Structure 1
Amino acid sequence: MQTVIIVIHLMVVLALVLVVLLQRSEGGALGIGGGGGFMSSRGTANMLTRATAILAAAFFVTSIILTVLARQGDRPASILDQLNTPAPADTSSAPGEGGNPSLLDSLKEASPPQGDAAPAETAPAAPSGPQVPASQ
């Protein structure tokens, strides 16, 4: 259903753009042709104005229908409703308030202890002094 409405909506949009571009503005725009058309200039203007109004109404109707269809999904009503729900309590014995580990506590657990240093072969030597090329 939603796909059919989207296709209709896109066709209405394309037709609306074309009709608006065909209308004659004060400068002429794309409403090219001064005389000798299938209708007089006044009749063409009335027809294009009516077509624009009808297509604009169809655009609004399809937009509202698509909005209503998108709203009926399985999503929560509001982001604020998600924030108000309490998070499940963590029963681990991690240090932190209320039994929930803080970000710093979890980072401490993930990093190796300070007493166990990495072997010297794998650790690169720290640069000493400024790293600039020697002058000649």
Structure 2
Amino acid sequence: MFTFLLVVQAIIAACLVTVILMQRSEGGGLGVGGSPSGFMSARGAADFLTRSTTVLATLFVGLSIVLAIIASVKHAPTDIDTSLVKQAPATSPVPQAPASGDPLSGAAQQVGGGAEGAANGAVPLAQ
């Protein structure tokens, strides 16, 4: 049923584009500009292309709403899959601060190699 309505939606969309492109351009898109007498005249309102555009646009919007409802009901998850949940580690190793008192300098010495890192040509970290 969903596939059938989707095909009907595509046909209506193609017809709507065709009807819109067949209409005569009167300038001033979206009702801006142009003569006000031609905008709401009896001949302009009764035009076949205008009526068919209205009907096709109404069908398109209505069918879009119906398809959205069908898709949300048909494809709604019934349960949550927890098989891909990442398990957190029980304990994580945290580097301990040295007993000298400054925890940042101790961490910098652990990462940078301390004084022996500066002896082998590495740039020492600020302390």
TM-score when normalising by structure 1: 0.44
More helix by share: 2
| RCO higher in structure (CA 8 A, sep ≥6) | 2
